[in-house]
Chains A and B, each alone.
Chain A
Amino acid sequence: MLLSVTDLAIDLPTTGGPRRIVHDVSFTLDGGDSLGVVGESGSGKTMTALALMGLLPEGATVSGALLFEDRDLARLDEAEMQKLRGDRIGMVFQEPMTALNPLHRVGRQVAEPLILHRGLSKGAAWTEAIKLLARVRLRDPERVACAYPFALSGGERQRAMIAMALSCAPKLLIADEPTTALDVTVQARILDLLATLGAQFDMATLLVSHDLAVVARHCRRVLVMYGGAVMESGPAEAVLRDARHPYTRALLEARPRAGAARGERLRAIAGAASPAGADPRGCPFAGRCPLTMDACHATPLPTIELPDDRRVRCLRVGPDGRLA
């Protein structure tokens, strides 16, 4: 097992004392496997990813175990974490324009981890960077290497970011909304590219996305988060075909479908997500959920284990895995 997260909780300091924004998140990821973390804003999906990268905001505290290659990421200090980041753990963020340094040529930025972690000379790293840019199927990699980020298109920038993340052949790639800023045709290509590279490099992928369909297409397993807690997890195909948690169902039904009649009512989820960690005692979806009972507000979330390594966390789900 490459990564094993057990009872992850994250507290952020606020003026009113620490606030638990992620609570009891547990999952595992095997080498070369892919896991999609799906959730809306405030679900804690990005915080979970940041915790794995050791990039949580100042003052945040992490509890639980984050075992990566048998080392607990939560116990590493910043210097040790820096050695892992960009080396064993690659990262791709949503907005390549802000993640890339606008003042440096793309090639230099792709070469940087190689100089830092592999001790390559500038020249050798540059040559390697051009190879990596070709690897992410950028046309004319020499031109891209010499270009500044602003001169590239969004898709080209994201490819360059991926080249940078892959430079040291990481075992785990954490991609936080890697294609959200991109066009659908480009998105399809980038996600296919990530899948291909994952297989080539034997690299596990943790894909954080708000888009269920993206995850359904590109991840083997899926973890649905809401309000800082895991609602449901399991093989992507099974979870999306036969969702057991009311939240997953609601998410699936809220999407407009291509080809549906114009103005067809969407099953919107009433209300807005309460800020994460408002009340970690009960279910965070209680209140918005059409099946809310009184107990939902105050009872800690149960975990119902189902065959195929599926888990559902809902009071309304019976031991057989069916919604009662």
Chain B
Amino acid sequence: MTIPLLEVIGLAKVYKLPRPGWFAPHPMRRAVDGVSLTIQTGRSFGVVGESGSGKSTLARAVMALERPTAGAVRLNGRSLFDLSSRALRAARAEMQMIFQDPNGSLDPRQRVGRIVAEPLINLAHVTRVQRAARVLESLRAVGLIASDADKYPHEFSGGQRQRIAIARALVTRPNLVVADEPVSALDVSIQAQVLNLMSDLQREAGVTFFLISHDLAIVGHLCDDVAVMFRGRFVEKAPAAALFSAPKHPYARELIDAAPKLEEAPIVAVDAPPNDEAPDGCAYAARCRFAQTRCREAAPALRPLGDSRSVACHFPL
């Protein structure tokens, strides 16, 4: 069997919250709670979830920007958290990240050429001359021209700035690009350009995306496999087409129904989600239309359903 591009095994990240009283213990928040996933080269993987579901924490742990409380991340078979910092820096060349806000992620005082070259600075084997060539190659790949390297970010439109951010991610020729809400800050017409660019990169440059988004349509557009995350756990994981046509988890259903669509009449959502955690039962039980006694007593584990999909629900739809 081939080594997967990315393997996440039982990843957990627990944050200490401030103590409610002087001598009270710190309450703990399990931002990511035992998430496992495998990405094979060429099969982009998307995570959909609401804010606070832990999807960005998951992305940051995958990028080794944050050390998880438990679990492992393996990139091309090597465990990221067992690497020395020097080896980790080199491993970063194989995976790059695109952030949501191109205005926040590009230094306004640096020229585009320098911004795009930045990930190469840590790579000893790339010479200065090669660096310039790589920057050019990268800019071309995202539809910018050589002279753009001498400009500053403010001289570009929002969509072009996100192209610059993508060019920076591509400059190390990574296999895996972690994209956290890459088009959320862009206008619809520009979003389409960037999404088309991202699918071109999948096809032509062999980039595999680990895409984090709140927008199901975008994840469905770019990813082969999709996981729906809720309160730090995957509640459903399935091939994109199967998930969208017939979600098995009630939360996945709710997400799909809540997304504004032009074609259909609205479905009024269940109101006001409670924030209190069910200590034993399913985290979604309080919001779930189909919840039964068992749902409040025992948390369902993610179990396979066949057709390479799995769901964490006692009573899948």
Contact = CB atoms under 8 A, between A and B. Distances in A.
Interface of A: 40-41, 137-139, 153-154, 182-189, 192, 210-214, 216-217, 240, 250-252, 254-260, 262-269, 272-273
Interface in B211-227: 214-218, 220-224
B251 to A, nearest CB: 9
Given A188-B260, A216-B260, A268-B196, A259 B220 contact: yes
Interface stretch (B4-12, B168-176, B265-273): B265-273
A315 to B, nearest CB: 21
A272 B160 contact: yes
Given A255-B188, A269-B189, A137 B260 contact: no
Name which of B192, B196, B222, B259 has the most chain A CB atoms within 10 A of its CB.
B192
Interface residues of B, number: 49
A42 B255 CA distance: 30
Given A184-B214, A257-B217, 16 more contacts: A139-B274, A185-B269, A188-B266, A192-B269, A213-B260, A250-B189, A256-B191, A256-B192, A256-B218, A256-B220, A262-B220, A262-B240, A263-B222, A266-B221, A272-B157, A273-B187
B157 A211 contact: no
Contacts of A257: 217
Interface in B256-283: 256, 258-262, 266, 268-269, 271-275
Contacts of B191: 254, 256
Contacts of B241: 259, 262
A265 to B, nearest CB: 6
A266 B269 contact: no
A137 B271 contact: yes
Interface of B: 50-52, 157-160, 187-193, 195-196, 199, 202-203, 214-218, 220-224, 240-241, 244-245, 254-256, 258-262, 266, 268-269, 271-275
Nearest to A254: B192
B50 A254 contact: no
Given A184-B255, A210-B187, A240 B262 contact: yes
Given A185-B50, A185-B258, A262-B223, A139 B192 contact: no
B272 A263 contact: no
B287 to A, nearest CB: 9
A188 B216 CA distance: 14
